[in-house]
Structure 1
């Protein structure tokens, strides 16, 4: 009887030990051991060219080099991004800072470890008819171009979205009443271009390549690059973030993610044509030449390996708080380094 109990106890000890070893291998060690790659899911609000370095890192094999099999779940906006990360369906989010602020306000422990862009990437395109009406063009002074938004009806993905908020704040900065702007929900680049063509809207707010597409169809032209505004020229945009608990428990994997994306940023910046060709399948119906030209326009925002600074976080947060009724962001977060963001993963991943 005693011998039987002893055998059962030994079997249980062996099973627990085996399970513990299996769990450890699954999280951190498979990528280094030459075995199966670590599978990671990234969630993004929509397919965005400002996120190009992530796509390039996948297509150029930078994740594979790190022993990571990366999958992207796209769509659903910022709310879906947060739901996916908090539920554990995705390990990492790539989205504008606004996606972080509301859950942070509710006590969620999130941390940004990289920013794919060092500036706001939105462009405001205006139809040919509206430019004629306002006597404004891309060659007008910046003040006049911003002033031309007074009385405009502009298409955006969602009324009150980040494009809407940052445009209104831009107008306010330059003494133009933001309430004189009317925004209309036109999701997707095609809808905005079609809206301009039909005279439903006077223009559209979007990140590239929408503006160049409008120009190629002779519907309108890019009149404002929001990064021309100094405040928006130093801004966290399309941040890579995750739950702090996950980052702490999977430190080595997180370093590999930062390293792969950092290489993607460097490659995209230095090889815009090759980058465009490698990710053209991500953007159905868009000509590779337009993608290349858009990437060239964005390349200065793919700065370094994605390092951030406190001012860039303040510049992202302040307009959202100022227009809290639209954005849903009412509380200012502490933007001191190592609170909601850190460069430590980049510094460790790329240390010489």
Structure 2
């Protein structure tokens, strides 16, 4: 009998050593997102559908409201991974660092903002902006740079043909417009659609449609974290890719129902409208691969905005091996 008991104990201890006696350890990964938006629907699908859990990952998601705050959280060790515009990694690199921030998975591939007019119009023309007051986004941020890029493509000088406001904090832009500031405003969803529904403005154009494909929002981390946690990052990216595929294969209505718990104060109708709008303009990346053409497009836009101190090679700040592997490329 003692031999049998000893054998059972030995087997259990041996199993515990190998796999926690049947239980896999769940890893905590802290993610700082630049804003909380339906624009990031695949991330929320991965959370709500349990794709991260199936990869033994527990996501601790924090909204940091602004690119500068998001990057500060990452660099200071307050987060492991940041979801933010990839231009921020270039800023950090050009300032000089021994531990550069590396982009490893792309989430969105177009601008996610819309031009909202205070006054209703049946026939909008970009020339209507001339002489107006335009409430833009933060200087040096991707939304503002894409906004200026599009205006220039429409033969509008954003610093001479209109009054451009750029000193309003990211989190307060919508409130500023609602309070009467500006004739036009550049807004993310779902705020743009909510304003339209409430009669506070009218969506007249999409900056995503008018611009080019770029790595608008990517997951990134410090190089040191990637080296020490590559297997975990690979599982993270695998869960993300499953969500990207799921979003591509399902309707806006189905996606809206899944991510509604992330937007409890937003109606299901608005969520569905926004998702359909983003799907229609191909804003959601189909896979996590950040290719060189998009990277170059990004730096062209940064250069146009006089925000690019020095060109940075794709291979310097982009790690594609993980995304390639999980997506079978």
TM range (shorter): 0.7 to 0.9
Shift of 1:169: 2.0
The answer to whether residue 268 in structure 2 is matched with residue 288 in structure 1 is yes
Which residue does the alignment assign to 1:266? 245
Which residue does the alignment assign to 1:4? none
**Is 98-107 or 155-164 further displaced after alignment?**
155-164
Q: Following the alignment from structure 2 to structure 1, what is the Cα–Cα distance between the partners of residues 93 and 133? A: 33
The answer to whether residue 255 in structure 2 is matched with residue 275 in structure 1 is yes
The answer to whether residue 53 in structure 2 is matched with residue 64 in structure 1 is yes
CA deviations over 1:73-129 (Å, ceiling 9, x no partner): 112421222222222221111101122121111234221111111212221111225
CA deviations over 1:219-255 (Å, ceiling 9, x no partner): 32221111222xx331111111111222122121111
RMSD over aligned Cα atoms = 2.6
Shift of 1:157: 4.8
The answer to whether residue 104 in structure 2 is matched with residue 113 in structure 1 is yes
* TM-score, normalised via structure 1 length: 0.78
Shift of 1:40: 0.3
Q: Following the alignment from structure 1 to structure 2, what is the Cα–Cα distance between the partners of residues 160 and 31? A: 48
Judging changes above 3 Å, is the alpha-carbon distance between structure 1 residues 61 and 148 closer, same or farther for their aligned structure 2 residues? same
Shift of 1:36: 2.7
Which residue does the alignment assign to 1:194? 178
Q: Following the alignment from structure 1 to structure 2, what is the Cα–Cα distance between the partners of residues 189 and 284? A: 21
Q: Secondary structure at the match of 2:316?
A: coil
Judging changes above 3 Å, is the alpha-carbon distance between structure 1 residues 256 and 247 closer, same or farther for their aligned structure 2 residues? same
* TM-score, normalised via structure 2 length: 0.83
Q: Is the 8 A contact 2:158 2:164 kept in 1?
A: no
Q: Is the 8 A contact 1:81 1:93 kept in 2?
A: yes
Which residue does the alignment assign to 2:81? 92
Judging changes above 3 Å, is the alpha-carbon distance between structure 1 residues 234 and 115 closer, same or farther for their aligned structure 2 residues? same
Q: Is the 8 A contact 1:156 1:192 kept in 2?
A: no
Give 5+ residue unaligned stretches, structure 2: 1-16
**How many residues matched?**
304
**Is 243-252 or 271-280 further displaced after alignment?**
271-280
Among 192, 210, 213, the alignment partner of 2:191 is 210
Q: Following the alignment from structure 1 to structure 2, what is the Cα–Cα distance between the partners of residues 225 and 149? A: 14
Shift of 1:190: 4.5
Q: Is the 8 A contact 1:30 1:37 kept in 2?
A: no
Q: Following the alignment from structure 1 to structure 2, what is the Cα–Cα distance between the partners of residues 30 and 290? A: 45
Give 5+ residue unaligned stretches, structure 1: 1-24, 138-143
Q: Is the 8 A contact 2:89 2:100 kept in 1?
A: no
Judging changes above 3 Å, is the alpha-carbon distance between structure 1 residues 254 and 58 closer, same or farther for their aligned structure 2 residues? same
Q: Following the alignment from structure 1 to structure 2, what is the Cα–Cα distance between the partners of residues 170 and 150? A: 14
Q: Following the alignment from structure 1 to structure 2, what is the Cα–Cα distance between the partners of residues 32 and 227? A: 50
**Is 48-57 or 263-272 further displaced after alignment?**
263-272
Q: Following the alignment from structure 2 to structure 1, what is the Cα–Cα distance between the partners of residues 21 and 276? A: 35
Which residue does the alignment assign to 1:10? none
Q: Following the alignment from structure 1 to structure 2, what is the Cα–Cα distance between the partners of residues 215 and 49? A: 16
Among 114, 117, 123, the alignment partner of 2:114 is 123
Which structure dedicates a bigger proportion of its chain to helix? 1
Q: Following the alignment from structure 2 to structure 1, what is the Cα–Cα distance between the partners of residues 101 and 133? A: 36
The answer to whether residue 210 in structure 2 is matched with residue 222 in structure 1 is no
Aligned ranges 1:272-351 → 2 under 5 Å = 272-299=252-279, 300-324=282-306, 327=307, 329-335=308-314, 338-351=315-328
Q: Secondary structure at the match of 1:99?
A: helix
